[in-house]
Structure 1
Amino acid sequence: MIRDAFQPAALGPLRLRNRIIKAATFEGRTPDAFVTDELIAFHRAVAEGGAGLTTVAYCAVAPEGRTDRHQIWMRPEAVLGLRRLTDAVHEAGGAVSAQLGHAGPVANAASNRAHALAPSRQLSPLSLRVTRAATPGDIRRIITAHARAARLAVESGFDAVELHFGHNYFVSAFLSPALNKRTDEYGGTLAHRARLARQIADAVRAEVHDEIAVLAKFNMDDGVRGGFGLDESRTVAGWLAEDGNLDALELTVGSSLRNPMYLFRGDVPLREFADQFPPLQRWGIRLGGRKFLRTYPFHEAYLLEQALKFRAEIDMPLILLGGIASRASVDTAMANGFDFVAMARALLYDPQLVNRMREESEAVSPCTHCNRCMPTIYRGTHCVLTSP
């Protein structure tokens, strides 16, 4: 029987009002690394618009694990603000998830005033600084930090946590043979490279049990030569399913470190990105940015073909992400056996879209996929077409 995306659904121990998830997109509304009224309003609007679950991004598990120092990192001092946010979402009828992770080599070392950690020492193309290879002590600390952050999420009133296993952040970098050159128990074979992801999922589940749902954003394909690809990712997804620590996988692609547009299909707003930086960096981005920000055409449900390979093999709930911009694409996901869909840009354009989809079978997001929302993360993520 084909699922109805607009009827209540179980996500682990959590009961959602529908199967529509607001995907994590950094909101740019935490200038002091704490919740603001603007961040609360952002997620309240999504909940009022009908989404079953909205995801707060990005909640780092350690201060050096942020992509810059303006992001929230999970510590007791953040709980009061986070509780205000979760209360606001619940009052609007929605549920709310905290995206937990460590940025690893994607972290901004200069902004964080701390070395960026990676599986192996390497030059970061983002910061042009050399990352530090994580020691066994660093790895143990970061595993523990994920469990501690999940406990803080429970105390803050979150209904779920999403573990960030994608985009060449810390865990994803360990999975990548292009980035992980270690020779210890965390490098080399696929089983060794997958050890960190499995240990973090296990530690988080052991901490929260069934108090909240636990899901993970997981790379199907880095989109990088020699990186983590479909054959290896399906194997690791199978291991994660067998371990039984996750309630769902949200399937994603791309590398924030080397190929971000592999996830964000559509136009490349190179000039708008360049304008966010000082003159010297601006010139460099305009000159060489096309090598980093490559062009991939947009079409609805553009990750469906890759995700179907997982659906055919993996026995656990799966969340389809990527170009879900109409009621038709939601229905297509359900017809192909996916349990949930995740939306981002379409809800930036219109937070009320889920309500419209529920009422109108022909509902389509007016989002043009210009991607000019992406550079706005530096001043409050928004759609430039609806709120310039």
Structure 2
Amino acid sequence: MSESTLFSPHTIRSVTVRNRIWVAPLCQYSVDREDGVPTDWHLVHLGSFARGGAGLVMTEATAVNAVGRISAEDTGIYTDEQRDGWSRIVGFIHSQGASAGIQLAHAGRKASVFREWGAESGTRPVGAGGWSTVAPSAVAFDGYDEPGALDRAGIDAIVADFARAARRSVEAGFDVVEIHAAHGYLVHQFLSPLSNRRDDGYGGSLENRARLLLEIIAAVRAEVGELVPILVRFSATDYTDGGWDVTQTTAVAEWARDAGADLFDISSGGLVAGAKIPIGPGYQVPFAAEVRRDAEVEVSAVGLITEAAQADDIIRSGRADVVMMGREIMRDPHFPLRAAHELGVPIDYWPVQYHRARPR
């Protein structure tokens, strides 16, 4: 059994996070100006989690270049204006005692889509404000336009874009950077044999399919130095025969650790439309536990974690080092404050403005 608890601090490199309740990346599709600069919505959205007692507050998938945005309304960190917009938000997160993380992302073949609540869906045409997409191979995601296969120069440019985005992230004040290698986006597309049909050094064997991720990690580590934690988000399985699975995830996590990554955020799915996913409370926790045990790495668990006792048990049992929360913490941004009360844990970071509402 682990000696850690939900409200024990967790240290990675130079960063100590106040508790083990971390906010998962939550896409908002809310940059109406379509310039990638975070808005007041992002300030209030992310700031509410910091005020509510979360340990680490992670941004949504934040594009490393314009072509890598999921939608035109995504945030980015490929310009100085975007960096400065994030700096304001990071400052507020820090003022509430929380740590700030940014998820660096490239959507690959799943880019240039209409945001999810609009009247239209699927690929946004070039003539309607969309753009041409790229991927490891010219294999479309179901219902989307066919992407262009990246050549070596294009791959090198993307690695450089991740490095520049990491530099801007540190300049903006972020404590932690995460590389998005999950949910069917570009790095996951390289990892999975279902979407990677290449016959060069970036396709075929597991070592080749992992090459892009490992090059990105090395480039980001070189840019941010030795003090900044690097996380990697994996989908542990494609839920499809012949696809990416937890055994491959475990192997690549070991290589990624050796390349400079520190903790692995274990999710699942996203590469194959219509895959049958057995959803239930904590349904992805076993994947995190397996990767943690077999690769001997630190992991976070995510997926229908909704109760304080459930989250605490995941940490106490040693199945994960931290939990990432999404839907439940959107429903209740003060979940960490409530969880501390339910578990009988005294904490000293209730906002003073809210002390009159603190349970006695």
Pick the TM interval, shorter chain: 0.7 to 0.9
Name the residue aligned to 1:312: 293
Q: How much does 1:122 deviate? A: 1.7
Name the residue aligned to 2:215: 199
The percentage of aligned residue pairs carrying the same residue is 31
Structure-1 separation of matches of 2:51 and 2:10? 18
Structure-1 separation of matches of 2:266 and 2:82? 29
Q: 1:216 aligns with which of 226, 232, 252?
A: 232
Contact residue 183 and residue 268 of structure 2 kept, 8 A: yes
Structure-2 separation of matches of 1:28 and 1:50? 25
Name the residue aligned to 2:28: 27
Q: 1:52 aligns with which of 43, 55, 61?
A: 55
Contact residue 69 and residue 76 of structure 2 kept, 8 A: yes
Q: Closer, same or farther in 2 for the Cα pair 1:295/1:215, shift >3 Å?
A: closer
Name the residue aligned to 1:229: 245
Which amino acid counterpart does residue 292 of structure 2 have in structure 1? R
Q: Closer, same or farther in 2 for the Cα pair 1:136/1:54, shift >3 Å?
A: same
TM-score relative to the length of structure 1: 0.81
Contact residue 30 and residue 39 of structure 1 kept, 8 A: no
Q: Deviations over 1:296-326 (max 9, x none)?
A: 4422x11122222212212221111112111
Name the residue aligned to 1:120: 137
Q: How much does 1:295 deviate? A: 6.5
Structure-1 separation of matches of 2:243 and 2:31? 32
Number of aligned residues: 327
Gaps of at least 5 residues in structure 1 are: 260-291, 364-388
Contact residue 158 and residue 212 of structure 1 kept, 8 A: no
Instruction: Give secondary structure in 2 for the equivalent of 1:59.
Output: strand
Structure-2 separation of matches of 1:195 and 1:173? 12
Instruction: Give secondary structure in 2 for the equivalent of 1:110.
Output: coil
Q: 1:239 aligns with which of 245, 251, 255?
A: 255
Which amino acid counterpart does residue 121 of structure 1 have in structure 2? A
Q: How much does 1:104 deviate? A: 0.6
Question: Which shows bigger deviation, 217-226 or 184-193?
Answer: 217-226
Q: 2:263 aligns with which of 248, 266, 272?
A: 248
Which amino acid counterpart does residue 6 of structure 1 have in structure 2? F
Kindly indicate whether residue 86 of structure 2 is the aligned counterpart of residue 82 of structure 1: yes
Q: How much does 1:72 deviate? A: 1.6
Structure-1 separation of matches of 2:285 and 2:85? 37
TM-score relative to the length of structure 2: 0.87
Contact residue 240 and residue 246 of structure 1 kept, 8 A: yes
Q: Deviations over 1:138-172 (max 9, x none)?
A: 10000010000000001111111110011121110
Contact residue 62 and residue 76 of structure 2 kept, 8 A: yes
Name the residue aligned to 2:350: none
Contact residue 166 and residue 172 of structure 1 kept, 8 A: yes
Which amino acid counterpart does residue 64 of structure 2 have in structure 1? V
Q: Deviations over 1:61-90 (max 9, x none)?
A: 010001111112211121221111101111
Instruction: Give secondary structure in 1 for the equivalent of 2:4.
Output: coil
Q: How much does 1:11 deviate? A: 2.4
Structure-2 separation of matches of 1:122 and 1:297? 27
Q: How much does 1:9 deviate? A: 1.7
Gaps of at least 5 residues in structure 2 are: 113-122, 346-360
Contact residue 22 and residue 58 of structure 2 kept, 8 A: yes
After superposition, where does 1:1-388 map in structure 2 within 5 Å? 1-32=2-33, 33-74=36-77, 75-108=79-112, 110=124, 113-127=130-144, 129-243=145-259, 245-255=260-270, 257-259=271-273, 292=274, 296-299=278-281, 301-337=282-318, 338-361=320-343
Q: How much does 1:15 deviate? A: 1.0
Q: Deviations over 1:168-210 (max 9, x none)?
A: 2111000101110100000001100011111101110010013
Name the residue aligned to 2:353: none
Instruction: Give secondary structure in 1 for the equivalent of 2:124.
Output: helix
Contact residue 247 and residue 317 of structure 1 kept, 8 A: yes
